Structure 1
C-alpha cells in the first residue's frame, strides 16, 4: 500500500506539473501587451516617417506639374516677350514709313527749289543779255534783283 500511495502521489505530482506551469488567458494577454507596447510605439513613430502609396502618387503629380510649368515657360516666355517686340517693331516700321514720307517731301521741295533756282539763273542770264542789248533795262533789272 505504501507503494501504491507513493506511486499515486508521484503520478499525481507529475500530472499536475503542466497544470501548475500553465498561464491564464489574462496572464498571456498581459504579457503580450507588455511586449507589444514598445513595438506599437515604434510603429507609430515610423508611420509618420514612411511614405504611403498616396504620398508617392502626390509627389509624381507635383513633379509632372513642375515639368509642365517649366516646359510652358520655355515656350510661353519668348512668345509673350516676342509679342511685345513684334508690336514695337510695328511701331518702329510705322515711324520709319512716316520718316520716309517726310524725306520724300523734303526731296520734292529740294527739287522744286532747284527748279526755281535754275529758272532764276536763266532769267538772270536773259536779263544780262537784254541789259547789254538795251541799257535802259539794266536799272530796272537791278531793282528787281536780276542783276
Structure 2
C-alpha cells in the first residue's frame, strides 16, 4: 500500500521542474502552495519547492489546493475527483481531459484555463472566474456558465 502524503514536504519531486506527472498523490495537502512557473532559471529556494508543477496523469483524488497558486500548472488527464481548489489561482492551468467530478472550484480563478474534454460533473463552480476559459468538449459545465 502506498503511504498517503500529507504535505509538500513528504512528497518526492523533481525540484527543477516539479514533475508530479503520473504520481499517486490522493489526499495531499497543498494549501497555500505557490506552484507558479519561475520567470528565469535562478536557483530554487525552499519556498519555491513546487514551481513549474506538472500533475499530468497524476491521481490527486481528494487533494487540497485551497488558496494554492497553480497558475499555468498542468493537470492533463489528471484524476482530480473531489479535489478542493477553493480560492486557488489556476490562471491558464491546463485541465485537458481531467476528471474534476465533485471538485470544489468555489472562488477559484480559472481565467484562460484549458478545460477541454474535462469532466466537471457535480463540480462546485460558485464565484469561479471562467473568463476566457476553453470549455470545448467539457462535460458538466455549460459554455455560458459564469460561476
TM-score by shorter chain over 0.5: no
More helix by share: 1
Q: Which has the larger radius of gyration?
A: 1
Question: How does the TM-score come out when normalised to structure 1?
Answer: 0.15
